Every structure is written in C-alpha cells, then in structure tokens.
Amino acid sequence: MGPARPIVVVEPLAEGSFFFALRPVEDETDVRTAAQDALRQVLKGGTFEQLRRVDYPRRELFEGLDQFLVRIVAVDPARAAVVAEHRPEIEAAFRRHARVAGDGRMALEQPMRAHVLTANA
C-alpha cells in the first residue's frame, strides 16, 4: 500500500458578514462551534494528525437581497417559511452586513476553516 491520502475537512466558522446576514433565518452558532469541537476531539484522540490548517474567506456576490434569499433557501427549502415570516429583520441584517463590491453587487464573506488530516497508523 502507498502512503495515506490526506483528508480535507472544510467547515464555515460562526463569524463573518455572511454568517451574520444569515443569522435571522437560522442561527448556526451551535452547529458550527460543534463541528470545530468535533475536529479538535478527533485530533486530540490521536486517530488523525493535522498536516495543515488554513483559514480563508469565501466571498459571495449578490445582486441584492432577493438573490441572497434564493441562495439560502436553495440550501435548505425549510428556510422559506422563516424568510416569509421575518423578511424585514432579514433585510435589515443583509443591509447592515453586506458591502458594495467594485461591480456594484453586494458582497458577503464567510470565514472558512480547512483542516488537512492524515490517518495515523
């Protein structure tokens, strides 16, 4: 057998303008924190070794609020009811956190964390 192939695990962090714009629809603070805690526990257990950790922003551009809403509902259609009920609050969060990009679209950034792991023999 050859060398072990690396495993890459990528998770969004509970921070950034995309996270805060999404929060009125679905607060993912607990699930995102739990994902990072689970990775720490796996590494602490010694089954895997972390070769590298990379934090980077994922930037998304939207023509406006409607395109943002289409994007977040496409990920989870159950969010449509929340969007319909809380649209003013969601719009306020989007306007508060989005920044105008050079091309005039609205930019949101989601900090991401990538872990490159290898299994210990």
51-106 tens-digit pLDDT? 999 999 999 999 999 999 999 999 999 999 999 999 999 999 999 999 999 999 99
**Quick one: CA torsion of 38, 29, 80, 90, rounded to 10 degrees?**
-160
- Structure tokens, 79: 């969010």
Instruction: Please give the distance of CA 111 from its chain centroid, rounded to a whole number.
Output: 7
pLDDT band at 1 (very low <50, low <70, confident <90, very high): low
% of the chain residues with pLDDT over 90 = 92
Which residues pair with residue 62 across a beta bridge?
106
pTM of the model: 0.89
Q: Where are the domains of the chain?
A: 7-119
Q: Compute the mean pLDDT over every residue in the chain, rounded to the nearest whole number.
A: 95
